Amino acid sequence: MPFIRRTLVLFLVLVLSPQALAAPPARAAAPQPSAPPAQPPEPGTCSTIQPQVKQCAVSAIGGVGTFGVIVAPPTGLVVAFDDAVTGMQPPPSSSYRASFSGTTATVVPIVRTPIPGATVHFDTATVHVTLKLRLGTPPDTQLLIVDPRKGLRDEEVERRVKEAVDGLEDRANQRADELLVSDIASSGVDLVDADVAPSRHDQVVLRAQKIARIGNRRVLLLSIMNRSADELEVKSVRAWLGPAGAERELPRPTYRLRAKTVPVNEEMAVAVSLPKPLASSDRLRLRIEFTDPERSVELAGIRVR
């Protein structure tokens, strides 16, 4: 009896298990083959991308190509190039309307029976293409002109740009050093006091310290002292030059800050390149502008020597 009971239990487990009760799996649909991506055709030939759309490759030498296209009124043909179209020899205007703009051109039959055997020629900076217009159906609506040399041409451009850029900073620094040394050799170097009283405004002190003459160049060294309870962020430095009271603003003064923010109870250095004065009476006026406009401070009467 125990044996029979165990056999019955085993039978029920096998028959009523989830796997046995589950419906048989549905047969998976066979995957449909996807269309392979369109590959560029061989030079001098065309290939179809999709119905009524094809691409044609010019020759690898000279970038020329002659291709046949099917036209049927009133459907137009759009031709796309890598570069801007620079010229066109149109087909007979009695049968076709042709135009170009940028990198595309269009050819449209305008009569029911266009002149057979017509051709149209297009030029860009790199290719010359001739299209033979043949009547038929279905007509071609889009044509992509492929230049197999484009990749090599792009690589050559990148190579030349890299050659030009590599070492550019080093050459610029070397040239700047040569000019500086030549300037010093011809005109010498001086460091003099700025000889102007500090300017104070709203807990900010602007002090001109020294004028450095390096050859024919002059640089004013200043300091900004922040005695307020807040950090100050410099927004800009403006400069005016001319007789006192009649100065004219300089469009783009050249200056450098040790940092854009002046901490509380600290002093920050500023260097301003000075223009060459036009007359001995010319004076420089500087204005340091902060993001808080109420803190902006000016220093006037600076003699450029």
Mind listing the pLDDT tens digit for each residue in 86-120?
999 999 999 999 999 999 999 999 999 998 889 99
Every domain range in the chain assigned CATH 2.60.40.1150? 190-303
118, amino acid identity? A
Distance CA 143, CA 125 (A): 19
Residue 22, pLDDT above cutoff 70: no
Backbone angles phi, psi at 244, to 5 degrees: -55, 130
pLDDT band, residue 157 (cuts 50/70/90): low
Model pLDDT for residues 32-51, shown as the tens digit of each residue: 443 444 577 899 999 999 99
Which range has the worst mean pLDDT, 46-50, 81-85, 193-197, 221-225? 193-197
Query: What is the predicted pLDDT for the residue at 181?
Result: 86
pLDDT band, residue 19 (cuts 50/70/90): very low
pLDDT band, residue 165 (cuts 50/70/90): confident
Higher pLDDT, residue 128 or 170: 128
Is the whole model's pTM more than 0.75, yes or no? no
Query: What is the predicted pLDDT for the residue at 145?
Result: 94
Query: What is the predicted pLDDT for the residue at 4?
Result: 42
pLDDT band, residue 154 (cuts 50/70/90): low
3-state secondary structure of 70: strand
Degrees to nearest 5, angle at CA 268 with 264 and 270: 150
- What fold characterizes domain 46-152? Immunoglobulin-like (2.60.40)
Which two three-digit tokens encode residue 20?
């046995």
91: Cβ contacts below 8 Å, ≥ 6 apart: 98, 107, 115, 118, 119, 120, 133
Q: Are 304 and 289 in contact (CB under 8 A)?
A: no
Lookup result for tokens 């610029």: 172
Going by the DSSP 8-state scheme, the letter that residue 175 receives in this structure is: H
152, amino acid identity? L
Query: What is the predicted pLDDT for the residue at 175?
Result: 86
Question: Both ends of the chain: CA-CA distance in Å?
Answer: 124
Model pLDDT for residues 268-292, shown as the tens digit of each residue: 999 998 877 667 778 888 999 999 9
Residue 66, pLDDT above cutoff 70: yes
pLDDT band, residue 151 (cuts 50/70/90): confident
- What fold characterizes domain 190-303? Immunoglobulin-like (2.60.40)
